[in-house]
C-alpha cells in the first residue's frame, strides 16, 4: 500500500515555480517514494527528516510511518535547500 503525500505551503509554492520537466521528474520521484519509502528516502543526520534526490535538487521529507504519510517540508537546489 502506498503512502499518502502531503506538501507544505512552501513546498507547493516552490514546486509551482519550477519548470515543467523538472516538476514532472519530482512528482514521479515522489510517487515512487510513496510506494517504497525505505528504498528511496535517505535519513538526514542532523535532524529527524529524510531527503529524496532528484538530479541536483533535494526534497526534505518528514515521515509518519504509522499514518503512512510523507510530509514534504521543502524542496530546492542542493546548494540552498539545507539552509
pLDDT in tens, 9-48: 999 999 999 999 999 999 999 999 999 999 999 999 988 9
Non-local CB neighbours of 14 within 8 Å, separated by 6+ positions: 74, 75, 76
Which pTM does this prediction carry? Answer: 0.94
Torsion sign across C-alpha atoms 73, 10, 52, 70: positive
Phi-psi group of 66: left, alpha or beta (phi > 0 → left; psi -120 to 50 → alpha; rest → beta): alpha
Looking at residue 83, what is its pLDDT?
Answer: 82
Architecture of domain 4-77: 2-Layer Sandwich (3.30)
Given a cut of 80, whether residue 1 has pLDDT beyond it is no
Kindly indicate the confidence band of residue 52, based on its pLDDT and cuts at 50, 70 and 90.
very high
Domain ranges of the chain: 4-77
Amino acid at each position: 500500500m502506498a503512502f499518502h503525500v502531503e506538501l507544505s505551503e512552501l513546498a507547493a509554492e516552490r514546486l509551482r515555480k519550477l519548470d515543467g520537466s523538472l516538476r514532472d521528474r519530482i512528482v514521479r520521484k515522489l510517487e515512487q517514494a510513496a510506494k517504497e519509502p525505505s528504498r528511496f528516502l535517505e535519513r538526514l543526520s542532523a535532524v529527524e527528516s529524510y531527503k529524496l534526490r532528484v538530479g541536483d535538487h533535494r526534497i526534505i521529507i518528514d515521515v509518519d510511518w504509522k499514518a503512512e504519510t510523507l510530509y514534504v517540508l521543502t524542496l530546492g537546489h542542493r546548494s540552498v535547500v539545507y539552509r
